[in-house]
Amino acid sequence: MYSKISIITVSLNSEKSIERTIKSIIKLNYNKNKIEFIIVDGGSTDNTLKIINNYRKYIHFFLSEKDQGMYYAINKGLKHCTGDIIGILNSDDYFYKNALLIVSKYFRKFNIDYLFGTVKKKKIHHGFHKNKIWYKFDIYPSHSVGFFIKRSVQNIIGNYDIKFKYSADRDLLYKLISNNKFIGMPTKKNEVIGKFSPDGISSKISFFKKMLEESKIRVSNNQNFYLVYLLLIMRLSYYFIRKFLRKN
């Protein structure tokens, strides 16, 4: 039995990588009638739209217009999802051919609400450390490529909060994980879902912007302000100590 899985891809001037992303969907070893492929483009001005148009028969919903960024585009895609499970695949990432077979197996066998699949960046990233969410966000391999959630649970948690320009995915995961009624788990280390680009937006954010926004996420989700402030000071101190040791 196959679960219906909706995949949202957002793009903006992605002519160098979007075709590989689309082809990875087409080549999936999964019931094609159970894949819903959604592309939301932010008004690309390069050859991205031309490439997408070459594969329109594989795309169930497509929209191209200027928007307010990646998470805004994902929210637009969520409105059109009809699958039992939702995944995000950015336009510079791609799935391995057995990705959705692995995903569907976990949701059926363990009756989970969300899944963190193993992904390959520069190396294999694996695991899900739920109990560390109170002091760190790096508790999972990747939001795009590896993260899947039941649509019914996504509807309860809500959309991505676009006031968090760089880390709305972390805000959503904080809400999800801190709600103890939802159950999630990782795939095995050798069950690699896909390849995550090391050159995405997350790699271009300064450490300070990242830390500041993550602190705002914690406060927004009612984590103790003084604890958040302490965590911020500790992370900044650790950053400067490591930087100093590298130079000496």
What are the pLDDT digits (tens) for 85-122?
A: 999 999 999 999 999 999 999 999 999 999 999 999 98
- HEC secondary structure over 92-104: CCEECCCHHHHHH
Of 138 and 160, the structure prediction assigns the larger pLDDT to: 160
pLDDT at 11: 96
Label residue 180 by pLDDT band (50, 70, 90): confident
- Which range is least confidently modeled, 23-27, 101-105, 218-222? 218-222
CA pair distance 59, 61, nearest whole angstrom: 6
Report residue 9: phi and psi, to 5°: -120, 125
Per-residue model confidence as pLDDT tens digits over 131-151: 888 888 888 878 889 999 999
Where are any strands of DSSP class E within the chain? 5-11, 35-41, 61-64, 85-88, 94-95, 114-116, 118-120, 124-125, 147-150, 184-186, 192-195
What tokens appear for 129 in the block? Answer: 């450390």
What's the average model confidence in pLDDT over 205-233?
89
Given this model, what pLDDT does residue 130 score?
87
Distance CA 79, CA 239 (A): 40
Closest CA to 70 of 184, 205, 182: 205
Contacts for 151 with CB less than 8 Å, ≥ 6 apart? 6, 81, 82, 83, 84, 85, 86
Q: Residue 132's pLDDT is what?
A: 87
User: Helix or strand or coil: residue 117?
Assistant: coil
Tell me the average pLDDT across 76-84. Answer: 98
Which pLDDT does position 200 carry in this prediction?
61
pLDDT of residue 248: 67
Q: What is the mean pLDDT of residues 3-31?
A: 97
Evaluate whether 145 touches 117 at the Cβ level (below 8 Å): yes
CA distances from 245 to 22, 196, 239, 242, 248 (A): 43, 30, 10, 5, 5
Lookup: tokens for 243:
């930087």
Mean pLDDT of 223-231: 89
Task: Tell whether the model's pLDDT for residue 239 goes beyond 80.
Answer: no
Q: Which residues are CB-neighbours of 61 under 8 A, at least 6 positions away?
A: 36, 38, 39, 77, 80
Is the pLDDT at 244 greater than 70? The verdict is: no
pLDDT for 205 beyond 70: yes
Terminal CA-CA length for the chain: 58
> Does residue 234 surpass a pLDDT of 90?
no
Mean pLDDT score of the chain, rounded to an integer?
A: 92
Question: In the predicted model, is pLDDT for residue 199 greater than 80?
Answer: no
